[in-house]
Each structure stands twice: as C-alpha cells, then as structure tokens.
Amino acid sequence: MNDNDAGIGGLQMLDDGDAPAAPIAPIAPIAMEQPAEAAPATAGAGGGAHARVLIIGSGPAGLTAAIYAARADLEPLVIAGFVPGGQLMITSEVENFPGFPDGIDGPTLMANMRAQAERFGARLHDVDVESVDLSERPFKVDAGGTRYTADAIIVATGASAIWLGLENEERLRGRGVSACATCDGFFFRDRKIAVVGGGDSALEEALFLTKFASEVVIIHRRDEFRGSRIMQNRARSHPKISIEWNSQVTDVLGENKIEGLELTDTRSGEKREMPIEGLFIAIGHKPNTEVFREHLDVDDKGYLEVADHTRSNIEGVFVAGDVHDHRYRQAITAAGDGCRAALDAERWLEEQADAGPATAMPAAGETVSTA
C-alpha cells in the first residue's frame, strides 16, 4: 500500500542506446533506510507483531500519526509500504509546507518525518499490506508475510497516480513514459517532452521538467486549467512551455522507446501526431482502499468514508489523509489529519481502558454508524 503507481523503484528507465533512459537510481533508499534492526515488536497472534496502534501508510498522514502516537507512549507500529513515504517521494519542491521558507524537496521532508517518528520510538516496517480482518478485535493485518494484530488501527494509505489506460502507454512505461518527473526528469536533458493534465500536478511537473528538457508541451483535454492561478501563471509565462489545448493523448508511438504521440482534438475528433521523446502523466490519483473494502465504507469514488471526525464505520479503526480526502489533498492537510487520528485513537483506547475489561473489547465485529 501507499505505493504510488509511479513506483519509485518501479520506474526503471531502460538504457537502450540513445533513448532518454538509463537505469534510474531510486529515490526512496537515499532517505528511507530501514533501521539495521527494527525495534522488537510485541509477539502477537500467529507469531507476528502486536501494536496498541497500528498505522498503515507512511505519507504525511501516517508519519504524523506515528509521531503523535509515539509521543503518547502508544508505541505505534507503522506498516510503511514496500515503497515508503507516499506521494511526496515523487514530488520535487514543496513550497507550501509551513516552516520551510525556501521550500523543501519531498523525499527530504518525508525522511525528516520518518526520523522524527523513530526518535519517539515508532517502529516502521517497509512491507505492503496483503489483507486485513477488521471483524473482531484485536484487528488482524497480514503484511509482508507476517500476521500483525492491533487494538486500534489508523488507515493512512493515501492515493496513487492514475494512468491514461492506453496499451502502448503501459508497454513503454520506463522507456520514456513516466508519472514521476522527480524520478525521471534527469534522463530527458535537451529533449522535447510532454506532460498530460491540467491540474496543479501537471503544471508543477511541467515547470520542474523545464530544468532538463529543451521544450515541454502540456497536453490538456479542455481549454482551461484546473490548477491554481499562481502555477498557471508560471507555466504560461515560461519560455520553454507550450500548451496543446483541447487535446487528448489517444496513442503512444514507438517500438522500444517513445517516439511520438497520437493526439485527438476533443472538439473535432481530428487526429494528429506529435513527435516527442518523453511523456509524463499527471492526471490525478485513486485512493488505495482495495484491501479495506470488505470492511470499511467507501464513497462512490472509492475513498474511505469518515464520520465523527476521523472514525471509520468500525470502532477502533481511524482514517487519515488522502485515502479519504479528495477535496484538499495537501501534505499539510494530510499531516493535520494524521494528528487528529492519533489523538482520536489515543482517547478511544483510554475510554476502552477506563470502561474496564467487561466493555473494553466490544463484541466481535461491532460497528458504529457513519450516518
């Protein structure tokens, strides 16, 4: 979980001679080293680890929850994902996270959050969740071949990049097609590349790519951007950036590496080809909720539902960050959400303890209404 489909490690630009591609050095390991020896976890059912608070996800929401839960002496265990750190690991400059007047790059921000959580005793395991059983307490989570159990869970699995869904887009992924400018921009020095999308992500990627590319073409399906005014102005005024309005990428051309695009005019249906040496997709994200759907309520877009602040429909399971928030989706709002979820989990655990053993663990599968 928490693995952006752009896949930091997964985006391997293959070296095929003059292709804009060489094996990419993954960003994640630079900053996200697993401690040589993870702190011992309490033995749980099935020989795995037990945590009072198990946090699933290691983006700003999960790591902020870990900092707060650790400082509350809850000894949280974070299932951080095989590719930890969330979407900020593939974000270049973060200029709007308070406290960094000169900006900070995403991977550094995440490494700092991780170090801060570990400083207070949070344990982080860089494995993906395979399945969950939230029907009774302690809750059960299978991840990386290990059974974890938990009294309370905070779900902070974020959202992943969406692709166009074209056959040749998938075939040429890593051969000039990418969803991660930070990871791959370096390989497109002095080349003409395209960015698809009209939101802040596309504008940000396009601006970042101007550092390397000779020319950046933003391809957008409408005639106006969705992104913020400041980013629009920056992109529109940049000498290396041009914009193809009302255009949809309908095919990606090239045998062993990308050589061009088939574009379709969204008003007339007319098709044309554009030679291009790189393609970056920045058209939004989908929530990472698959493993929870049997137990947790989702909305029509697949995002987790919350009620009563950060509570899910299952008592003891809390939700934080982009996995439920498709309105704000900012690092700072996700971090704030992680804080709220940790405080709610802490209070809920205290209530359980105060209520005594008879009521501390309500009946298996007991749920609360989200109405």
Active centre residues (catalytic): 180, 183-184
User: Using CB under 6 A, which of the segments 41-49, 57-65, 130-138, 283-291 binds ligand NAP?
Assistant: 283-291
Q: Establish if 222 lies at the interface with ligand NAP (CB under 6 A).
A: yes
CA angle 43-48-54, nearest 5°? 90
Nearer to ligand NAP, 243 or 360 (CB): 243
Distance CA 160, CA 3 (A): 7
209, 184 in Cβ contact below 8 A?
Answer: no
Burial (CB < 10 A; 0-12, 13-18, 19+), residue 319, is buried
Nearer to ligand NAP, 26 or 199 (CB): 199
State the nearest-atom distance from the C-beta of 164 to ligand NAP, in Å. Answer: 6
State the nearest-atom distance from the C-beta of 328 to ligand NAP, in Å. Answer: 7
Distance CA 369, CA 35 (A): 40
Q: Which two tokens stand for residue 311?
A: 């509570």
Q: Which two tokens stand for residue 307?
A: 């009620």
Neighbours of 311 (CB within 10 A): 20
Nearer to ligand NAP, 147 or 329 (CB): 329
Q: Establish if 226 lies at the interface with ligand NAP (CB under 6 A).
A: yes
Nearer to ligand NAP, 244 or 346 (CB): 244
List binders of ligand NAP among 193-212 (CB under 6 A). Answer: 196-202, 204
Per-residue binding string, ligand NAP, 136-175, x by CB under 6 A, is ----------------------------x-----------
State the nearest-atom distance from the C-beta of 104 to ligand NAP, in Å. Answer: 12
Distance CA 51, CA 137 (A): 12
Of all residues in the chain, what percent are helix, strand and coil, respectively (each to 5)?
Answer: 30, 25, 45
- Contacting residue, 171, 192, 221, 295, with ligand NAP by CB under 6 A: 221
Number of residues lying near ligand NAP (CB under 6 A) = 19
265, 247 in Cβ contact below 8 A?
Answer: yes
- Report which residue's Cβ sits closest to ligand NAP: 199
Neighbours of 30 (CB within 10 A): 11
Alpha-carbon distance values, 165 to 110, 173, 270 (Å): 29, 12, 20
54, 153 in Cβ contact below 8 A?
Answer: yes
Nearer to ligand NAP, 152 or 161 (CB): 161
Distance CA 142, CA 148 (A): 6
List binders of ligand NAP among 247-276 (CB under 6 A). Answer: 248
Kind of pairing, strands 247-253 and 260-265? antiparallel
State the nearest-atom distance from the C-beta of 201 to ligand NAP, in Å. Answer: 3
Sheet with 247-253, edge to edge strand ranges: 247-253, 260-265, 271-275
241, 121 in Cβ contact below 8 A?
Answer: no
* H/E element, 208: helix 200-209
State the nearest-atom distance from the C-beta of 200 to ligand NAP, in Å. Answer: 4
Q: Establish if 283 lies at the interface with ligand NAP (CB under 6 A).
A: yes
State the nearest-atom distance from the C-beta of 356 to ligand NAP, in Å. Answer: 45
Nearer to ligand NAP, 61 or 141 (CB): 61
Mapping DSSP to helix (H, G, I), strand (E, B) and coil, where does residue 257 land?
coil
Q: Establish if 329 lies at the interface with ligand NAP (CB under 6 A).
A: yes
CA angle 12-19-209, nearest 5°? 70
Nearer to ligand NAP, 54 or 206 (CB): 206
State the nearest-atom distance from the C-beta of 55 to ligand NAP, in Å. Answer: 22
Nearer to ligand NAP, 144 or 199 (CB): 199
Per-residue binding string, ligand NAP, 90-129, x by CB under 6 A, is ------x---------------------------------
State the nearest-atom distance from the C-beta of 325 to ligand NAP, in Å. Answer: 10
Instruction: List interacting residues with ligand NAP (CB under 6 A).
Output: 96, 164, 196-202, 204, 221-222, 226, 228, 248, 283-285, 329
